[in-house]
Amino acid sequence: MRLKTPLLQATLALALALCAAAPAAAQEADPIAALLDQPPPAPEAAPAAAAAPDLETADALSAEAPPAPTPPAYTPPPVNHAPPTPQASEPFPYRSSPVGPPPTVVRPPMVYAPPAPRPELAAPTYVDETGRSPEAPPNSLDLSYEARLRSSSASAQGLQGPLDGAWTLRSREGTALYSLQLVDNGLAPLEGAWRDPRRRGSTDSSGFVSAIQRAGGELIVSFYPRPGAGVATLVLNAAPDGSWIGRLEEGGQRRPVVLRRD
């Protein structure tokens, strides 16, 4: 069969050529086969300068370079076994008080007052003379002290028996014959002392009672009024008014007497 146009003939020829070259091109384009068929690469030789360095150059470099500094040897610090020195604490700063000083109290000067002169005594003062005193008149402190003593004496007297205290023995005419000071605590035997006011100032005008006996409403008192003389005996009976009435036997004489509390 004949082709009618030259363009068609050329087209057909190009197609036939491509079909004939397709198998060869396919075989040449296989990448895996090409990699497998390649020989292994040969090892590269190391450069001569790196494998064998120049000895002369190394000696020159070592001569020019300074020597490396040697590190100092380690020395341990000394061990101090002494106790630590105490440090003085800082002084506390002084702070003034916010409150000012107390106001100054100006007191008037004391005026000296000389003591009162003592009264001149023309004769000695005895203990029984209670109305006379060689000292100055008592002040407020003396009076307060005396009041406390009297109060204590009154309290103690309230605990004593009925005969405790000071008594005066008088005759029927009222003359003071003897003064008696009796001690009666309600339990122990009675005790007492006597004094003769008619012989005031004599050294033998007083003494202790020898014996006191109390039996119910009767009281018997014995004492020696003078050294070497006989005994004086009082035989008394209790009266309704608190006194004791009886007789005094002294020096072989008997006289009626009455004993009353001072």
The stretch 18-27 carries a mean pLDDT of 55
Q: Buried (b) or exposed (e) across 154-178, using 16+ Cβ within 10 A?
A: eeeeeeeeebbeebebeeeeeeebb
Give the model confidence (pLDDT) of 97-117 as tens digits. 656 667 777 888 888 787 776
> Considering the domain boundaries, does residue 115 fall inside one?
no
Domains held by the chain: number:
1
Domain that holds residue 256: 158-261
Run of H or E including 214: strand 211-215
**Residue 110 included in any domain:** no
β-partners of residue 223 are 232
Least Cα distance to 153 among 162, 165, 139 occurs for 165
Output the CA angle 122-126-129, nearest 5 degrees: 95
- Chain segment 166-183, per-residue pLDDT in tens: 999 999 899 999 999 998
Structure confidence by residue, pLDDT tens digits, 186-230: 777 889 999 999 888 888 889 999 999 988 889 999 999 888 788
Q: Please write the tens of the pLDDT for every residue from 41-78.
A: 555 544 444 444 455 555 555 555 566 667 677 777 77
Whether residue 184 is contained in a domain is answered as yes
Residue 240 inside a domain? The answer is: yes
Query: Is 202 among the domain residues?
Result: yes
Supply 194's token pair.
């006597």
What CATH number did the domain enclosing 196 receive?
A: 2.40.128
Q: Is the whole model's pTM more than 0.75, yes or no?
A: no
The candidate with the shortest Cα–Cα distance to 258, out of 183, 165, 173, is 173
* Cα gap 151→162, rounded to integer Å: 19
Residue 72, domain member (yes or no): no
